[in-house]
Amino acid sequence: MLVSRLLLVCTAGLVTAHALRAEPKVATQTARNNNPKSVTEPKITFNSVHVDGPYIAMTFDDGPSATLTPKLLDLLAAHHIKATFFVIGENVAEHPDIVARAAREGHEIANHSWSHPNLAKMSDEGVRRQLWQTDEAIKSATGTRPTLLRPPYGSITEREKRWIHDEFGYQIVLWDVDPYDWKRPGPAVVRSRILQETRPGSIVLSHDIHPGTIEAMPSTFDALEAKGFKFVTVSELRHRLGANSRGESRTLPDTAVNLHKRSGSDSSLAITVSASGIFARQLGQDE
């Protein structure tokens, strides 16, 4: 009887010791799964894309212009080029037919604010109003809401990027090629700067409200095509990702997705699907 009790005590001791050794592993695994850092954050902002191929995106800001944008659309059609237009909302409201034509011809229409203010110096409500009015104007003209935002002057805070992405679902698009055409240096200079700076995966900034820019485009398109570049919209460029934007590492096989409500929502759900499981966490607007 005494032996039996001793054996029972020893067995219990061994089980307890094993459990204590195993517990940190379980706790560590649980912490890892519950840790928000286990969720791969979606990339919100990019100025270029690392691609497997000679793909570039031509982008045009501040339109539409009643006279210059139609001329540019004619040039793009003649070259079979698809571009991305970051439009000003008040211009869209004034010339919805031009925006509708651009979308109909396969170009991407994106948000560039309602009246071109510096978003980084505005209240959240002021920024929200600028973006929402433009979003509605684009939807009215094209039947589709935009998925990309380029802040005027490229000026936006990190906090704004996050809540705008959570609330509107926008990716923030900057650029890596800037010919400074807004300074009106002349068509030859605009062309030369674009040719010197453009690389595979480049996002080229220009403005379809300056005559010199439109005048520079025929020879610029010819020269870029002669170099072997292929033109796609910004969203198409992103879909050709060989890795994240330059300087960013890529994590596979995890994929992060934000599910959001467009208006009146104060939270979003970030979901990561990976080989090791599915993780989710709540995201606040101001996160």
Q: Rounded to whole angstroms, how far apart are CA atoms 270 and 277? A: 14
Helix (H, G, I), strand (E, B) or coil at 231: strand
Catalytic annotation present for 207: yes
Write down the catalytic residue from 112, 165, 207, 210: 207
Q: What is the DSSP string of 180-213?
A: -GGG---HHHHHHHHHHH--TTBEEEEETT-HHH
Q: Rounded to whole angstroms, how far apart are CA atoms 275 and 237? A: 26
Write down the catalytic residue from 61, 62, 135, 166: 61
Evaluate the CA torsion angle 206, 208, 210, 212 in order and state its sign.
Answer: positive
Whether the CB-CB separation of 161 and 119 falls below 8 Å is answered with no
CA distances from 78 to 71, 108, 167, 218, 220 (A): 11, 17, 38, 10, 13
Q: Which neighbouring-strand residues pair with 58?
A: 204
**Could you tell me the two tokens for 99?**
């925006």
Residue numbers annotated as active site: 61, 207
